[in-house]
Amino acid sequence: MIARVVATNLKVLNSTLQPLSILALHGPNLNLLGQREPGIYGALTLAEINRLLEEEGFKIQAKVFSVQSNHEGILVDTIHAALGQHHGILINAGAYTHTSVALRDAIAAVNLPTVEVHLSNIYRREDFRHHSYIAPVAIGQISGFGAQSYLLGLQALVNHLRVKS
């Protein structure tokens, strides 16, 4: 029994020392952050959010690779390319959250742990934003905390990956 506990603790310790690779995927219009409806999406630019993700990733031993596209097919291709390259996906699919079966299917196909994030609380907005095609294939969803949603999502994803391994 003691040997099993020690072996389990060593496995957890070793897994926490290995850097993880996380794909941060940003969907349409997020390239306009900082100027686009700052009352809803905040004043930070996407570059600033990516910098915060990199800094938080460094603290928790995860390398964050950020990609933004306004094109659904590029986002799908990027998800496909994540297989074998990244341990997990942090995604703000923007408006595609509510419309894209293709993104949902791509996430399901690669079967990488995925956390969905949103700057605004999508459930306090227009009715069409209340449905997410991503949520059923994600391990969790965080929304409504501005840029902090990304950091919370990254922390949750890394924690999930560390506990799982």
> Of residues 26, 86, 87, 118, which has the active-site annotation?
118
26 in a labelled binding site: no
DSSP state, 146? Answer: T
Q: What is the DSSP string of 33-57?
A: TTTS-HHHH-S--HHHHHHHHHHHH
Active site residue 131: no
4 in a labelled binding site: no
Q: In the structure encoding, which two tokens stand for residue 109, read together?
A: 């196909």
A 10 A CB-CB count for 11 gives 11
69 in a labelled binding site: no
Active site residue 41: yes
27 and 94 Cβ atoms separated by less than 8 Å: yes
> Of residues 26, 41, 133, 150, which has the active-site annotation?
41
157 in a labelled binding site: no
152 in a labelled binding site: no
Annotated binding-site ranges for substrate:
92, 98, 105, 119-120, 129
Q: Can you say which residues are annotated as belonging to the binding site?
A: 92, 98, 105, 119-120, 129
Q: Where in the sequence numbering do the catalytic residues fall?
A: 41, 118
